[in-house]
């Protein structure tokens, strides 16, 4: 099985030339990374590899145009035109297409278009595999529960395509029955929990998943689905994955996939938390790679691991990451196109075929001994991995702490508790001294501990800085709010019947300064470096505009000049955010003293004197 990792810069909104070297013929397999629910990314792949043919530039551009149309502007005629263009295409069914996930319920424009392409692939008997993923699971759960096509977990900006599908249904342009019919016939049969491909000599296996996984992840998933786990040969591992998918497909056909996971764990995955104890959620959400068991050589065969979901895990050695930003969002049409292309090999759609093709002979005595030693090594690696898992799962929490001393105390307690994880080193020492376990394993424990200590210290500093920042913002705003309340009180004392124009101007000034104050608070929270100057300039402009009317009618010239200086002084006198070591309370100068200090320190003498 020759695997080729293809990466090139493309524009999926432009009709591609056919890649003659990597055509979807002769039993080839083409695996593409996250679609991000972008229909044109899928169409681009089909055309580029010669799977979809008989399409010209004009028709391709029309597909792009219709796909990009806002949902509110879609009509039955446009959808009919889209389907009509698909109807003119010819398809090559002598290859397998594998979608690594996120084909639905993501940032694309509308899932209806992707489902129509999947329907067309089914009609032309093109073999398709779709790996279950954290985005498409929203579509699966919606049709299983017979609910609207709306996500239960994902935020709007992360699931626009399924929401727009629901709007199409609500508008009456498409029917829910049409969507469910496509799902039943063309989508559900393609779903896999994970997948694989085998070399022709059965000495190399490539494992496909949405999120990054390892052998331990497959073992945990097998246990959850009550499947016996075997991996002494590539064929045994392939049989294990077949049985996993047989059980998974039972859930798919019975509309019970949503019972394999919990909302709590899905939220935890969304927040990037460790899901090693939740095997089904893990294969959709995992972003932690350090402790994964992903050997290049295992027993007497080789393993490759292919995934998408998260672009942080680098492609290297036997690990292939197909995730990228191509197709993500409104402006993701240009970028890196990454697919894995492999020649003819044993593949998974039949699920049972491999057991019939390969007979497994009992190993010789020497092989039994070697297998036993490998098992000891594997068990030792599992012990070490469990310690690393405990370290990585150690919760770092500073909630409830109110003082800087409290932060220090909590951090010290966390470090003490962390050290206790490896305090009882009985089975850990035994695992580290097992033959075949090298120093790298010990270094992995040390590295995990060092990373967690760094996380604790960083979290402590971040928590402390945040509290200091909040205290300083509150202190600064207290001075400003006091000045604004004083102004508001003065306005309340003005007789609106006697000074109507001045009253309206003064009231508008109060409102405008309060709005400026609110924007200033927001900018300080984001720490916009220009927020101070912007606030001072806004206050200066508002006061200058109001000055002539309020001076002439009410004699407020000096008061407004001093008001501006006091508000500007509040900014200067509060120490720049993030540069104090302890929390502090504000010392407020007297009004007259503030004016005197402001006159010395501030360069705001361009405020006009009252005439």
Q: Per residue in 33-60, pLDDT tens?
A: 999 999 999 999 999 999 999 999 999 9
Q: How much is the pLDDT for 75?
A: 96
Is the pLDDT at 472 greater than 70? The verdict is yes
- For the cut 60, the answer to whether the pLDDT of residue 488 exceeds it is yes
Mean pLDDT throughout 182-190? 97
Determine which of 64-68, 216-220, 231-235, 343-347 has the lowest per-residue pLDDT on average.
343-347
Token duo for residue 288 = 């932690």
Given a cut of 80, whether residue 122 has pLDDT beyond it is yes
- At 73, the pLDDT band (50, 70, 90 cuts) reads very high
pLDDT in the model for residue 331: 80
> Hey, is 301 helix, strand or coil?
strand
DSSP code at position 28 = E
**What are the tokens at 349?**
């759609």
Tens of pLDDT, residues 539-567 = 999 999 999 999 999 999 899 988 888 88
521: tokens are 């608070």
Buried b (16+ CB within 10 A) or exposed e, 468-502: bbebbbebbbebbeebbeebbebbeebeeeebeeb
For 310-322, write each residue's pLDDT tens digit: 988 888 999 999 9
Determine how many CB atoms are found less than 10 A away from the CB of residue 583: 16
CA distances from 33 to 77, 128, 310, 340 (A): 32, 14, 10, 9
Residues shown for the chain: 611
Give the pLDDT confidence score for residue 372 in this predicted structure.
63
pLDDT tens by residue, 343-367:
765 444 444 443 333 333 344 444 5
Query: What is the model's pLDDT at position 424?
Result: 55
The sign one gets for the Cα dihedral 355, 358, 361, 366 is negative
The 3-state DSSP class for residue 303 equals: strand
For the segment 472-483, the average pLDDT, to the nearest whole number, is: 83
Give how far Cα 78 sits from Cα of 64, 108, 356, 389, 506, Å.
12, 18, 48, 52, 56
Q: Which pLDDT does position 595 carry in this prediction?
A: 37
pLDDT digits (tens, 9 = 90+) for 138-184: 999 999 999 999 998 888 889 999 999 999 999 999 999 999 999 99
Structural domains of the chain, with CATH? 3-359 (3.60.21), 366-460 (1.10.132), 467-601 (1.20.1440)
Angstrom CA distances, 343 to 177, 198, 514, stand at 38, 10, 68
DSSP letter for each residue of 207-222: EE-SS---HHHHHHHH
List, for residues 490-513, the tens digit of each pLDDT value: 999 999 999 999 999 999 999 999
Q: Residue range 274-301: average pLDDT?
A: 93
Residue at token pair 């090594």: 377
pLDDT per position as a tens digit, 376-435? 777 778 888 888 888 888 888 888 887 778 888 888 888 888 887 776 555 776 777 777
Q: What is the pLDDT of residue 525?
A: 67
CA-CA-CA-CA torsion for 596, 599, 600, 604, nearest 10 degrees?
Answer: 160
- Name the percent of the chain lying above pLDDT 70: 86
Weakest-pLDDT range from 35-44, 213-222, 277-286, 462-471: 462-471
In this structure, what DSSP letter does residue 360 have?
P
Percentage with pLDDT > 90 across the chain: 57
Mean pLDDT of the chain: 85
* Per-residue pLDDT tens digits for 192-204: 999 999 998 999 9
Examine the pLDDT at 605 and tell me if it is beyond 50.
Answer: no
**Among 107, 70, 55, 186, residue whose Cα is nearest residue 78:** 70
Q: What is the pLDDT of residue 459?
A: 84
CB atoms within 10 A of CB 271: 8
Helix (H) or strand (E) holding 297, with range, is strand 297-298
Of 550 and 526, which is predicted with more confidence?
550
Residue 114 has pLDDT above 50, yes or no: yes
Is the pLDDT score of 609 beyond 60?
Answer: no
Tell me which of 423 and 98 has the higher pLDDT.
Answer: 98
Confidence of residue 369 (pLDDT cuts 50, 70, 90): low
pTM score: 0.60
What is the Cα–Cα distance from 471 to 469, expressed in whole angstroms? 5
């Amino acid at each position: 099985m020759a695997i080729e990792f293809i990466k090139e810069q493309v524009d999926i909104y432009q009709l591609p030339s056919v890649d003659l070297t990597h055509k979807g013929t002769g039993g080839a397999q083409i695996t593409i990374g996250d679609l991000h629910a972008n229909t044109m990314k899928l169409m681009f792949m089909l055309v580029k590899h010669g799977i979809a043919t008989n399409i010209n530039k004009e028709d391709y551009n029309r597909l792009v145009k219709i796909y990009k149309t806002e949902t509110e502007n879609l009509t039955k005629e446009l959808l009919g035109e889209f389907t009509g263009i698909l109807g003119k295409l010819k398809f090559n069914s002598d290859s397998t297409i594998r979608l690594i996930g996120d084909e639905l319920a993501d940032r694309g424009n509308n899932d209806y278009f992707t489902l129509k392409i999947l329907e067309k692939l089914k009609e032309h008997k093109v073999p398709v595999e779709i790996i279950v993923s954290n985005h498409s699971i929203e579509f699966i759960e919606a049709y299983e529960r017979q609910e609207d096509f709306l996500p239960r977990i994902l935020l709007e900006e992360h699931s626009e395509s399924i929401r727009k599908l629901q709007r199409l249904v609500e508008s009456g342009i498409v029917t829910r029955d049409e969507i469910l019919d496509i799902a039943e016939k063309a989508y559900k049969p393609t779903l896999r929990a994970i997948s694989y491909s085998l070399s022709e000599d059965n000495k190399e296996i490539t494992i496909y998943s949405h999120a990054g996984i390892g052998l331990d992840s497959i073992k945990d998933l097998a246990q959850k689905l009550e499947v016996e786990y075997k991996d002494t040969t590539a064929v045994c591992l392939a049989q294990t994955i077949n049985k996993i998918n047989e059980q998974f497909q039972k859930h798919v056909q019975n509309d019970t996939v949503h019972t394999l996971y919990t909302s709590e764990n899905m939220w935890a995955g969304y927040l990037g938390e460790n899901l090693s104890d939740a095997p089904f959620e893990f294969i959709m959400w995992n972003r932690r790679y350090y402790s994964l068991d992903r050997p290049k050589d295992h027993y007497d065969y080789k393993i490759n691991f292919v995934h998408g979901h998260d672009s942080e895990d680098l492609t290297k050695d036997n690990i292939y990451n197909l995730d990228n930003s191509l197709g993500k969002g409104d402006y993701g049409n240009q970028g890196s196109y990454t697919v894995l292309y492999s020649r003819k090999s044993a593949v998974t759609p039949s699920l049972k075929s491999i057991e019939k093709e390969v007979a497994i002979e009992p190993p010789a005595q020497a092989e039994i001994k070697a297998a036993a030693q490998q098992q000891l090594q594997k068990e030792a690696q599992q012990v070490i991995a469990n310690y690393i898992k405990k370290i990585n799962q150690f919760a770092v929490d500073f909630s409830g702490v109110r003082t800087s001393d409290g932060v220090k105390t909590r951090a010290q307690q966390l470090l003490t508790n962390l050290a206790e994880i490896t305090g009882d080193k009985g089975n850990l020492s035994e695992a580290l001294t097992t033959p075949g376990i090298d120093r790298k394993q010990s270094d992995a424990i040390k590295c995990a501990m060092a990373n967690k200590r760094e996380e604790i210290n960083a979290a402590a500093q971040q928590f402390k800085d945040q509290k200091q920042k909040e205290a300083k913002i509150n202190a600064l705003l207290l001075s400003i709010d006091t000045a604004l309340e004083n102004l508001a009180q003065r306005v309340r004392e003005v007789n609106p019947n006697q000074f109507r124009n001045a009253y309206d101007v003064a009231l508008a000034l109060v409102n405008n300064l309060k709005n400026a104050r609110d924007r200033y608070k927001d900018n300080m929270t984001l720490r916009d470096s220009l927020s101070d100057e912007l606030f001072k300039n806004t206050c200066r402009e508002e006061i200058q505009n109001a000055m002539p009317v309020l001076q002439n009618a009410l004699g407020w010239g000096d008061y407004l000049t001093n008001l501006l200086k006091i508000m500007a002084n509040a900014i200067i006198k509060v120490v720049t955010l993030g540069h104090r070591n302890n929390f502090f309370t504000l010392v407020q100068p007297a009004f007259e003293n503030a004016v005197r200090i402001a006159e010395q320190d501030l360069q705001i003498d361009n405020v006009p004197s009252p005439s």
